[in-house]
Amino acid sequence: MRAQFVLQEIWIGLRRNLTMTISLVITVAIAMALLGTGLLLRTQVESSKGYWYDKIEVSIFLCAKTSSNTNCNKQDITPQQRAALEADLKKLPQVAKVEYESKEQAYARFKDRFASTPGFVQSAKSGDIPDSFRIRLKDPAQYKQVSQSVLGRDGIDQVINEQEILKKFFKILGGLQWAALMIALIQVVAAVLLVANTVRLSAFNRRRETGIMRLVGASNTYIQLPFIMEGAIAGLIGGLFSAFLLVGSKVLLIDRLAGNIGFASQLNWGTVLLVIIATICFGVLLCAFASFLTLRRYLRI
């Protein structure tokens, strides 16, 4: 009988404040979806960092007649200079592997990598990309030691560290992640305020019923339970809607981003499921706790 009464009071509260409840559900859904998207982006970025940083290469481009570097004097590197440079690179303790790539090999790799954009491929021709040495480091953090040991030598045009390029890229993704989390935080604050207003309005509309319950000896917990459950149910519904939004974020945003940019691996559905469960639980607890605090702080029932 008591359970039936509580459920009846919950239904009455949700029905009386229907517009407020709908607003709360939408706000919670958006907040939890943004929070979950931020967590998914973070997971994808961290897994990709671990994959790509282990495969970072240092590219040493050699002098060619087309080089803009004044040290090259518009001349190709000599075979003797190239052989001496390769031997010195292999002696460095930081170097794990040294591979030579000719102009022809570089152009073939360029055409293969950008085969999906024929206009971009046609803008270059064989010989535009100079010869280079591609160096795999034992520890990517030791790039500076390798760079300093070769910079300024005859026959070297420029040294490029792929880690610096990746850092800029992951910094952009990190910015997107934090933007999603900050917007989610704003939405969470809005949800808490909506919960407070909904609970206060519901308690005001039922002040006569709660007064009678107190007169007949009902405990504070029993009186407050319907209000807390109203917030929890609204949070649950919002969390379920956010689950659909998170699936959409995974398919339409993160998977496409991974495919276009070439992430190490796509985010698996197990991770998405864990994030969905976490955001639903957080939404329910947030609304329930906000309802509880509102009843203690603002209402005397």
pLDDT digits (tens, 9 = 90+) for 56-88: 678 888 888 878 887 788 888 888 888 888 888
* Range in 7-21, 181-195, 239-253 with the lowest mean pLDDT: 7-21
Q: What is the pLDDT of residue 240?
A: 92
- pLDDT in the model for residue 207: 64
Q: What is the pLDDT of residue 81?
A: 86
Q: What is the pLDDT of residue 287?
A: 85
pTM for the predicted model, two decimal places: 0.62
What are the tens digits of pLDDT across the range 280-298?
999 899 888 888 877 775 4
Contacts of 213 (CB under 8 A, 6+ apart): 222, 223
Q: How do residues 215-265 score in pLDDT, each as one tens digit?
A: 666 666 666 777 778 778 888 988 899 999 989 888 887 777 666 655 555
